Amino acid sequence: MVINDIPVIAIDGPSASGKGTVAQRVAGKLGFHYLDSGALYRLVALSAMRSDADLADEHVLSDIAARLDVVFEDAEIWLESENVTDAIRAEACSNAASRIATYPRVRVALLERQRAFRQFPGLVADGRDMGSVVFPDAALKIFLTASAETRAQRRYKQLMEKGIDANISTLLQDLRERDARDSGRSVAPLQQGEGTSLLDTTSLDIGQAVDCILRQYAEI
């Protein structure tokens, strides 16, 4: 089979919109592979912070991105043989990842690594530019979103369940800042591109969102 014949479902959307949760479930239902592209930007951020790299130095950061020694194994992520599944979700890492993601050289350095996830029988990929840049020929492109208030509530609940203290208004402010940075950057900004279906989950539960995507995929 030629690589471009392997189907891709691209799910893009803002922070805490539920992309990861929904994409993983859709992949599970279809028996497809799953790519969490945001994790790659987070890994570059973690690696850079750990080596005290200058987060404003695009060349150093793209070098880190190109050399990332990472293994994705089921739901676990390993960086240089260390399990960093939780470490990359820390708020400092989220913010650094969003800043680092504005650099074109970093994005180019991660491009082929993301495309390598396209394997038989198919791939569900989530991020900000899955449908626009990484897999422009995706079979189905979804823009998954929810109101900022709903996303902040969901993130709050998610953190509380993990025993991490949080504050709703701070979370809401952080989400808005990240939204503005991810949507306002000049390279591969988060946007609902042409041929992309909008899925607003503000009043949908996870199961309803998953079913909606599976239905759309079945109708192609």
Ligand X SMILES: Nc1ccn([C@H]2C[C@H](O)[C@@H](COP(=O)(O)O)O2)c(=O)n1
Binders of ligand ATP in range 20-79 (CB under 6 A): 20-22, 38
* Positive or negative torsion for Cα 184, 92, 18, 217: positive
131 near ligand ATP, judged by CB under 6 A: no
201 near ligand ATP, judged by CB under 6 A: yes
Binders of ligand X in range 44-103 (CB under 6 A): 97-98, 101
38 near ligand X, judged by CB under 6 A: yes
User: Closest Cα partner for 65 from 127, 114, 129?
Assistant: 114
Diameter over CA atoms, the chain: 50
Distance in angstroms (rounded) separating the CA atoms of residues 71 and 79: 7
Q: Which of 18, 35, 93, 96 binds ligand ATP (CB under 6 A)?
A: 18
Q: Under a CB-based contact definition with an 8 Å cutoff, are residues 220 and 139 in contact?
A: yes
Site string for ligand ATP, 137-166 (x = CB under 6 A): -----------------xx--x--------
User: Closest Cα partner for 49 from 102, 104, 105, 88?
Assistant: 88
Site string for ligand X, 149-178 (x = CB under 6 A): -----------------------------x
Nearer to ligand ATP, 56 or 83 (CB): 83
Give the contacts of 20 (CB within 8 A, at least 6 positions apart). 36, 38, 126
- For residue 29, say whether it is annotated as part of any ligand binding site: no
- For residue 87, say whether it is annotated as part of any ligand binding site: no
Site string for ligand X, 117-136 (x = CB under 6 A): ----------xxx-------
- For residue 163, say whether it is annotated as part of any ligand binding site: no
Helix axes 37-50, 58-67, angle to 10 degrees: 120
Residue ranges for the known binding site for ATP are: 13-21
